[in-house]
Amino acid sequence: LENLPCSFVIFGATGDLASNKLLPALFHLEVASRLGERLTIVAFSRRDWTLDSWREYLSSILANKVKAKLEGPVFERFLARFRYHRGDLNDVESYRALVANLPPEPACSRTVFYLAIKPADFAVVIKNLQAVGLNQPRGMNRVVIEKPFGEDLESAQVLNRLLHQYLDEEQVYRIDHFLGKETVQNLLVFRFANTLIEPLWNRNFIDHVQITVAESIGIEKRADYYDRAGALRDMLQNHLMQLMTVVAMEPPVALEADALRDEKVKVLRSIRPIAKRAIHAHAVRAQYALGNIDGQTVVGYQQEENVEINSLTETFVAAKFYIDNWRWRGVPFYLRTGKRLAKQASLIAIRFKHPPQQLFRETPLEFIAPNWVLLSIQPEQSMRLEIHVKQPGLDMDTRVMQMNASFLKTDEQALDAYETLLLDVIEGDRSLFIRFDEVEWAWRIVDPILKHWLVEREFIPIYPSGSWGPTEANRLFDNDDQTWRNEL
Let me know: does 110 contact 138? Beta carbons within 8 Å: no
Q: In this structure, which amino acid lies at residue 324?
A: D
> CB burial class (10 A; 0-12, 13-18, 19+) of residue 126?
buried
Q: In the bound complex, what is the minimum distance in angstroms from residue 215's beta carbon to ligand BG6? A: 6
Q: Please indicate if the annotation marks 339 as binding a ligand.
A: yes
Q: Does residue 215 interact with ligand BG6 by CB under 6 A?
A: yes
Q: Which is nearer to ligand BG6, 215 or 380 (CB)?
A: 215
Q: What count of residues does the chain have?
A: 488
Please enumerate in sequence order all residues whose Cβ is within 8 A of that of 149, keeping only pairs 6 or more positions apart, or say none: 119, 156, 159, 160, 174, 238, 434, 439
* Contact track, ligand BG6, 153-192, x by CB under 6 A: ------------------------x---------------
Closest distance of CB 144 from ligand BG6, Å: 14
Q: Is 34 annotated as a binding residue?
A: no
Q: Which of 85, 239, 282, 388 is catalytic?
A: 239
208 in catalytic set: no
Does residue 380 touch ligand BG6 according to CB under 6 A?
no
DSSP collapsed to 3 states, 116-164: CCCHHHHHHHHHHHHHCCCCCCCCCCEEEECCCCCCCHHHHHHHHHHHH
Cα–Cα dist 413/225, whole Å = 32
Asked if omega into 356 is within 30° of 0 (cis), the reply is no
Q: What track of x and - describes contact with ligand BG6 for positions 224 through 243 (by CB under 6 A)?
A: ----------x---------
- Check whether 451 is labelled as a binding-site residue: no
| In the complex, least distance from residue 344 CB atom to ligand BG6, rounded to whole angstroms | 7
Query: Please, which residue, 378 or 431, has the CB nearer to ligand BG6?
Result: 378
* 147 is annotated as contributing to ligand binding: yes
CB of 197 to ligand BG6, least distance (A): 25
The answer to whether the annotation marks 65 as part of a ligand binding site is: no
The DSSP secondary structure of 287-352, one letter per residue, reads EEESEEETTEEE--GGGSTTPPTT----SEEEEEEEB-STTTTT-EEEEEEESSBSS-EEEEEEEE
> Residue 59 or residue 216: which is nearer to ligand BG6 going by CB?
216
Cα gap 215→410, rounded to integer Å: 25
Least distance in angstroms from the C-beta of 95 to ligand BG6: 27
The closest alpha carbon to 211, from 377, 371, 448, belongs to 377
**Least spacing, CB of residue 182 vs ligand BG6, in Å:** 12
Pick the closest to residue 431 from 194, 190, 262, 237 (CA basis). 262
A 10 A CB-CB count for 165 gives 11
Compare residues 229 and 473 and give the one whose CB is closer to ligand BG6. Answer: 229
Check the annotation: does 181 bind a ligand: yes
Judged by beta carbon, residue 102 or residue 241, the one nearer ligand BG6 is: 241
Of 15 and 428, CB closest to ligand BG6: 15
CA distances in angstroms from 481 to 204, 207, 366, 484, listed in the order given: 18, 11, 10, 10
88 has binding-site annotation: yes
**Active-site positions?**
239
List residues binding ligand BG6 (CB under 6 A).
177, 215, 234
Instruction: Tell me the binding residues.
Output: 46, 88-89, 147, 177, 181, 215, 234, 339
Instruction: Tell me the binding residues for substrate.
Output: 177, 181, 215, 234, 339
Instruction: Tell me the binding residues for NADP(+).
Output: 46, 88-89, 147
